Amino acid sequence: MPTIDLEVVELALEEIEAYRLRHIDNLEQREAAVKMRTSTSTYQRVLNSAYGKIADALVNGKAIKIIKHT
């Protein structure tokens, strides 16, 4: 199916960064929060948001678009 025909899930840059720090750099929550210059609770909120959006895209066959702002 052409990408243009897919529904789109938008991920903010901060969500991608949170996901990258956890799953590519293998950082724990506290370390990742420090790198992002945020609290651990805010980091966890951003990461959970990314998880939900990525899961929606994978399970429902949607495209992922990375945006600068939430």
Count the residues in the chain.
70
What SS3 class is residue 1? Answer: coil
Q: Give residue 69's pLDDT.
A: 73
- Give domain 3-67's CATH architecture: Orthogonal Bundle (1.10)
Long-range contacts of 58-63 (CB under 8 A, 24+ apart): 60/7, 61/1, 61/6, 62/6, 62/7, 62/8, 62/9, 63/3, 63/6, 63/7, 63/8, 63/9
Q: What's the CA angle centered on 9, arms 3 and 26, to 5 degrees?
A: 110
The model's pTM is: 0.89
Q: Per residue of the chain (70 residues), what is the pLDDT tens digit?
A: 677 789 999 999 999 999 999 999 999 999 999 999 999 999 999 999 999 999 999 999 999 999 997 5
